[in-house]
Amino acid sequence: MTRISSISLLLFCLSITVYAGYYGDSSEEYNSRRGHRHHDSYGERRYDDDNYHPRPPPKPRCDEGWKFFQRPNGGWCMKVFPGTLDQYSSEAQCVSQGAVLSGLQNVAEINYVVCEPPGPSFQSSPKKNSASALAVISPQVSGGVWIGAKRRAECIGSGQTAMCTKTNTFYWTDNSTTGIDGMIFQQNEPNNGNKYVTSSFRANFPRGNQNCALLTVAHTPAIRAVSVYWSGQMDDITCSTSASSYWPSGTLPRANRAYVCEKRAN
């Protein structure tokens, strides 16, 4: 299994090609070489059709505070919000923003959730700035982030099998994320097992009911929360888990503290 032993910030930049026309040469030699110029009804010169380069279409944009990512099916905007709600309530919060819980298309999107640096005015205006989960959950130094992934129906109640593998047990729920490049699970996960849940929790969080997924984020490459969890990797967990209802002693470093939403770019 591929491990992310360190998370390095990737700057995801869109290249915009700028087209410029040539208007300075009025020589006959230029005209004969490039084709004659036309005049519109106001006498302004312009290129003939063969040499005219139209401006590129406007780049899709995101609302203030959202981060743009290009996916195979278009431009999408992502934003991390703080919150210790369960998965269902986190999804509802995204819907209230005109969004849904976000999948993870690739490592660039994982790195955004883990380590996007906050803008200079983040502390005074967090709603207007895009930032990583670690920024929005500060002063906490680690935690879990709800993402848009759920266990496939045919894998409900099952651990990993020949049919339910590490990469196909879960699917992206946002209807925009494609492929499995961003579906990186912790070692031996998804296992559909609550082996660290004490008897007092077992009735509410039975083994074999881990149908949602959390992304671990941390300031260090890995954290110890009874077991070792790598920053930037996923773990299956019960969808009704909230920070106040589940986490036994020793597991709090990976308790859910945020969720990431996405919506289509304008």
137 part of a folded domain: yes
230-263 confidence digits (pLDDT tens): 999 999 999 999 877 778 888 999 999 999 999 9
215 part of a folded domain: yes
**Considering all CA atoms of the chain, what is the largest pairwise distance in Å, rounded to the nearest integer?**
91
CA angle at 178 for the pair 176 and 184, rounded to the nearest 5°: 120
120-130 confidence digits (pLDDT tens): 777 777 777 78
C-alpha 143/C-alpha 122 separation (Å) is 20
C-alpha 201/C-alpha 245 separation (Å) is 9
128-152 confidence digits (pLDDT tens): 778 899 999 999 999 999 999 999 9
12 part of a folded domain: no
| Domain interval for residue 183 | 68-117+129-196+204-264
- Tell me how many domains the chain contains: 1
174 part of a folded domain: yes
Placement of tokens 């139209």 in the chain: 54
**Residue 73 belongs to domain with CATH number:** 3.10.100.10
Q: Answer for the pair 24, 126: CB distance below 8 angstroms, yes or no.
A: no
56 part of a folded domain: no
User: Which alpha helices (DSSP H) does the chain contain, by range?
Assistant: 28-34, 87-96, 107-115, 133-136, 199-202
State how far the alpha carbon of 105 is from the alpha carbons of 9, 72, 110, in Å.
Answer: 16, 9, 8
For 200, list phi and psi in degrees, rounded to 5. Answer: -70, -20
15 part of a folded domain: no
pTM: 0.74
58 part of a folded domain: no
54 part of a folded domain: no
